[in-house]
Amino acid sequence: MMNKIDVIIPIKGRPHMLRERSLRSLLSQNFTDFKVTIVDDASSEEDFQKIQSIAEEYRNKGLQIDVVKNEGTEGAAGTRNFGLDCTSGEYVLWFDSDDILLENKLELSMKLIQSGDSDLAITRAQHVLNDNLIEEFWGDPVAPNRGTYEFHFPYQTMCALYRRSFLDSSKTKWHENIKMMDDWLFSNEVMLKTDNWVFSPAVTAHYFVPDPNSDSIGSMMTRGKIKSQFLAIKTLKKAMKRYNLRFSIMDGMRIIRHQIFLVVSYIYSGFPFFKSPIT
C-alpha cells in the first residue's frame, strides 16, 4: 500500500543531525501515514555507513525509511529532485536533516491541503538561534497582485506540503545549477505557478539559523554561492516576465541593495556568514 506522504531528506555528511533532529522529530508525528527517503549526496563512506546505521535504528522504532545515493546532479537541488523521482506518494515534503518538525506538522498540513483540494499547504517555521527560539519565522507567502510581485522569501523548504500531481503537471523542479538561494527561487516560482494554495500561521517546525560552525550551505559565503544568488534573481525575473509581472519600485530598490551586498561579499568572500537583507 502506497504511503500518503513522502518525506524526502537530502543529506551530505553530518549523520548525527538525523538522530538529533530530523528523524527524532518524525518519530513524534501525530500523522503516521508517511515514508522517509534519505538521499545521500556524496557523503564520505564513513558518514554513509553512519547514515545507514541511524536509519536502521529508527526503522526499529517504527519509521519506514529508505536510504538511497543520489544518482542525479550533485548538490541540494539535484538531491531533492532525485528524491522526488525515487518516490511515488500522493503528497511530498522536502525536509532538511538539520531542522525539526513539530508533532502537528504532517497532521495539520494534510488537513489544510485536503480542505480545499489545494496544490500545496504552507505553515510557519520558527527560528532557533544559539539553541534559543527567537521571534522570527519563515512562512509568509504573498500572491502576485495587480501586475506586481513582492520581493520576499515566501517559505522555507519544510514549510510546504505539496500535492505530487501539481509538481508533475506544472513541471516544478529544483534548479540544479543554483547552489544557493535555490529554496528562495523554488518557493517564489511555486507562488507564480499557482494561486491554489492554503496558508496557516501555525508554527509547525523549527529552523536552525546557520552559523560558521554549523557546516550548513548558508554558513559560509563563497564566490560560487554569490554568483548563484545573482543567477537565482535573474531566473526569477525571467519567470515573472512570463506572467507579465514586475517588481514595484520599492522592491526594485531592495534588489539593488541586495546586489550591492553580494558585490561586497564577492570582493571579501571567505568571511563567516552574516544575514542577507533579502529577508
Render the chain in DSSP notation, one character per residue.
Answer: ---SEEEEEEESS-THHIIIIIHHHHHT-S---EEEEEEE-S--HHHHHHHHHHHHHHHTTT--EEEEE--S-SSHHHHHHHHHHT---SEEEE--TTSEE-TTHHHHHHHHHHHTT-SEEEEEEEEEETTEEEEEEE------BTTB---S----GGGEEEEHHHHHHTT----TT--SSHHHHHHHHHHHH-S-EEEEEEEEEEEE---TTS--TTSB--HHHHHHHHHHHHHHHHHHHHTT-B--HHHHHHHHHHHHHHHHHHHTTTSBP---TT-
99: in domain: yes
9: in domain: yes
pLDDT in tens, 121-146: 999 999 999 999 999 999 999 988 77
Residue-number span of the structural domain to which 167 is assigned: 5-216
pLDDT value for 143: 87
Name which residue leads in pLDDT, 155 or 219.
155
Q: Are 136 and 206 in contact (CB under 8 A)?
A: no
Confidence of residue 277 (pLDDT cuts 50, 70, 90): very low
Q: What is the pTM of this model?
A: 0.91
pLDDT in tens, 16-70: 999 999 999 999 999 999 999 999 999 999 999 999 999 999 999 999 999 999 9
Task: Say which range, 47-51, 76-80, 220-224, 230-234, has the weakest mean pLDDT.
Answer: 220-224
236: in domain: no
229: in domain: no
61: in domain: yes
pLDDT at 180 over 90: no
267: in domain: no
Confidence of residue 273 (pLDDT cuts 50, 70, 90): very low
Confidence of residue 181 (pLDDT cuts 50, 70, 90): confident
Q: Are 111 and 204 in contact (CB under 8 A)?
A: no
For the segment 218-225, the average pLDDT, to the nearest whole number, is 64
Side chain identity, residue 33: D
pLDDT at 213 over 80: no
Which CATH number goes with the domain that contains 79? 3.90.550.10
250: in domain: no
Cα gap 228→217, rounded to integer Å? 12
The terminus-to-terminus CA distance of the chain in angstroms comes to 42
89: in domain: yes
**Number of domains observed in the structure of the chain:** 1
Q: Are 176 and 239 in contact (CB under 8 A)?
A: no
